[in-house]
Structure 1
Amino acid sequence: MLRLLLMTLLCGGFSAASHSLRYFYTAVSPVPDVPEFVTVGYVDEEPIDYYDSETRRTVPRQQWMEKSQGPDYWEGETQNLRGDEQVFKANIQILEERTNQTGGVHTYQVMYGCELRDDGSISGFCQFGWDGDDLISFDKDQEVWVTPVTWGQLTKYKWDRDTAMIQDWKIYLEQTCITWLKKYVQAGQAQHKPGVSPEVSFTSSADGRQLACKATGFYPQAIDVTLLQDDRVLGETRSHGILPNHDGTYQLTRRVEVDPSDPAQFSCRIEHRGLDEPLLLFLDRKAGPPVLIIVVVVVLLILVAITVIGGFIWWKKKAGSNGYNPTKTSEKGESSSNSSATA
């Protein structure tokens, strides 16, 4: 459930041309073999650190993150999250009683972070959830907490009166978070070449009903992949969003359903900092028949091979019945951080 939530959040909500720093905390009522408290931090689409109640240590998830922060940083984060762990576990019990749900498995979560856009504007958010539904969120402009559920009013009343907590969140989301985001982005970019261009492929499914344009191996993550039909932008496309590769680069695949009998010219346009100019790739509809011919030839060769081998085996059996015994071989084969507040 946690992975599904994270993927949903990662695939939307932020512009590909911006930078974001986000944290996800999840507390779960006791379940065998499942950590009761887990946190993950992200810069853009890359996980940068991780903590859980089993290891009770904050650890880096990127080499550049480990190199850019010293031992004092990781020790400080560990101590902060150990404190948050206790608060989150206590809130699980408080909310179970408040919602009359003392049995079963329940989750208490917080998502918070900030975004720095290309135009220089910023945004920040902080949202708490209970069992996958909204519990309470922070309106930093109005400096109040907002809840959509009646049983969240007690928490709202308590947190609205805590003016120090409100100011801490406002300063963090508007200043501290942005400062750290800039530091992390700078540290991450130092590891990569500026503007690594994408490798692009534009393919069609076997029945011709689905087109897919994939760009991979690019850095930074900001990219624009557009599918066109006779120079007209196709709006009904699907994508899982920008995803990280193992080497620190990114990938993006955009798909669209089409009529295979449509004679239009389909193309894929890619714009990225690593490209001197936008790349335009056209779909080659003539690539289908040669592939079919190759498949047919391969099948024929296999049939011929089967026929030859079968004939050879039959000949050996025939020879054996006439007094010829081939030499026997051996039968033995060989194989070669700001989220701790009680509800």
Structure 2
Amino acid sequence: MDMMFLLLLFCHVSSAEKHSLKYFVAGSSGVSDFPEFMGAAVFDGFLVGYCDSNTRKVETKQDWVEKLLENDTQQLQYYNHECFEYPPKVFKDRIHIFKQHFNQSGGVHVLQRMSGCEWDEETGEFNGFCQYGYDGEDFMAFDPKTSTWIALKPKAVTIKEKWNADKARAKHCEIYLTQLCPEWLKKSLDYGRMTLQRTELPSVSLLQKTPSSPVSCHATGFYPDRATMFWRKDGEELHEDVDHGEILPNNDGSFQRSVDLKLSSDTPEDWRRYDCVFHLSGVKDDIITKLDKAKIRTNWGKIIIRIEKDGSSNITIPITAAVVVFAVVLIAVIGFTVYKNNKAN
């Protein structure tokens, strides 16, 4: 799944009024143990399909996508064509051409393409897009209104002229972005509406690492990601001594968020004046959690593993847990020593 992360770096969840259907494609050269070609289809920020040159098959990631493709053979044929026929060979050839054009020999090189369309449900406006990147830099973009390619880097000008000379290819891109993609986006919305436009309320907990740590109001399992969360004191929203965490995705497609409150200057008797408010867009009633010391789940005396935003883990071992860890390690060392001595004898 690491390779998918490279394709979906700029993927985000769409708002209720705007919907998007995006295709991410990447070809690589000089990368060992990595597919030469891979592609992903993303609807409203959700991965719905994936393929690569190693597996040689289209994998659907949502149940409703399978039903859609069963009833729309044109889309299925398009995905098979994009995964196994035209783009894999073309991307390989283009990387070779680019290397020659830029006097590159050997090394690792990656060619990426993001294409698709967005639809504003309120205004009815569609916007198609197709953009290439080479070795991590924006390279070329297609304008469906003029049916021409635009160089995003000075070094791409020569290649742009060659691509614009291919009128048939430009016309194909224009039809795809202005006709096919909008049609498929609406079909995806019809099939996936029950799943993608659902509303799920979270479970809210009060957490505290140590008695002197901030109290964290943690909400998890909510959907969609359009949610606000804050601390109040005597009914007034707090802005000082409050740390708002970002909304992060869960593995099941739902979201989580935390808001920390520093209470160093307050006595435990004053805690009842605080509460945590969670509001989910489209839901009338808020979830209000009173600050109650008896309901705080503390991690003191336990091993705490916190996943940071960059994907790294920050492990904190309090003194009580550290003693246990040390004892386990000591027992393992003693056991290994006895084993070696017995074997030697």
Q: Normalising by structure 1, report the TM-score.
A: 0.69
Q: Deviations over 1:281-340 (max 9, x none)?
A: 235152477869999xxx9xxxxxxxxxxxxxxxxxxxxxxxxxxxxxxxxxxxxxxxxx
Give the conservation status (yes or no) of the 8 Å contact 2:218–2:259.
no
Q: Equivalent of 2:176, from 167, 172, 175?
A: 172
Q: Deviations over 1:207-259 (max 9, x none)?
A: 543735424154xx363233355336799744255x3654xxx3222344554
Aligned twin of 2:221: 216
Q: Equivalent of 1:84, from 82, 87, 93?
A: 87
Question: Which residue type is aligned with residue 172 of structure 1?
Answer: Y
Q: Cα distance, 1:46 vs. partner?
A: 2.2
1:188 aligns with 2:178: no
Q: 1: CA distance between counterparts of 2:301 and 2:104?
A: 63
More displaced stretch, 33-42 vs 55-64: 55-64
More displaced stretch, 33-42 vs 257-266: 257-266
- Structure 1's 2 and 135: CA in aligned 2 closer, same or farther, altered over 3 A? farther
Give the conservation status (yes or no) of the 8 Å contact 1:203–1:283.
no
Aligned pairs for 1:168-317 (under 5 A) are 168-190=172-194, 192=195, 195-206=198-209, 207-209=212-214, 211-216=216-221, 218=223, 221=224, 223-229=226-232, 230-231=236-237, 237-239=244-246, 241=248, 243=249, 245-246=251-252, 250-256=253-259, 258-261=261-264, 265=274, 267-273=276-282, 275=283, 277-282=284-289, 284-287=291-294
- Structure 1's 226 and 114: CA in aligned 2 closer, same or farther, altered over 3 A? farther
Aligned twin of 1:22: 22
Give the conservation status (yes or no) of the 8 Å contact 2:205–2:217.
yes
Q: Deviations over 1:91-150 (max 9, x none)?
A: 111111122222111110001122223423433322111111111122334544332322
Q: 2: CA distance between counterparts of 1:238 and 1:290?
A: 19
SS at the partner of 1:261? coil
Name the structure with the higher strand share: 2
SS at the partner of 1:57? coil
1:137 aligns with 2:146: no
More displaced stretch, 32-41 vs 73-82: 73-82
Q: Larger radius of gyration, structure 1 or 2?
A: 1
Q: Deviations over 1:143-165 (max 9, x none)?
A: 44332322211121122334443
Give the conservation status (yes or no) of the 8 Å contact 1:25–1:111.
yes
Question: Which residue type is aligned with residue 281 of structure 1?
Answer: I
Aligned pairs for 1:40-59 (under 5 A) are 40-59=40-59
Q: Equivalent of 1:126, from 109, 125, 130?
A: 130
More displaced stretch, 195-204 vs 286-295: 286-295
- Structure 1's 179 and 244: CA in aligned 2 closer, same or farther, altered over 3 A? farther
Aligned twin of 1:66: 66
1:115 aligns with 2:122: no
More displaced stretch, 175-184 vs 116-125: 116-125
* Gap runs ≥5 in structure 1: 300-343
- Structure 1's 79 and 177: CA in aligned 2 closer, same or farther, altered over 3 A? closer
Q: 2: CA distance between counterparts of 1:217 and 1:74?
A: 32
Q: Cα distance, 1:69 vs. partner?
A: 1.5
- Structure 1's 215 and 293: CA in aligned 2 closer, same or farther, altered over 3 A? closer
Q: Normalising by structure 2, report the TM-score.
A: 0.69
Q: 2: CA distance between counterparts of 1:9 and 1:293?
A: 37
Q: How many pairs were matched up?
A: 286
Question: Which residue type is aligned with residue 214 of structure 1?
Answer: A
Q: 1: CA distance between counterparts of 2:226 and 2:50?
A: 27
Give the conservation status (yes or no) of the 8 Å contact 2:208–2:299.
no
Q: Cα distance, 1:194 vs. partner?
A: 6.9
* Gap runs ≥5 in structure 2: 267-272, 303-319, 321-345
More displaced stretch, 132-141 vs 18-27: 132-141
Aligned pairs for 1:87-106 (under 5 A) are 87-106=90-109
Give the conservation status (yes or no) of the 8 Å contact 1:18–1:118.
yes
- Structure 1's 265 and 226: CA in aligned 2 closer, same or farther, altered over 3 A? same
Could you say what the CA RMSD is over the residues aligned between the two structures, in angstroms?
3.5
Give the conservation status (yes or no) of the 8 Å contact 1:65–1:187.
yes
SS at the partner of 2:103? coil
SS at the partner of 1:97? helix
Q: 2: CA distance between counterparts of 1:290 and 1:89?
A: 54
- Structure 1's 268 and 136: CA in aligned 2 closer, same or farther, altered over 3 A? farther
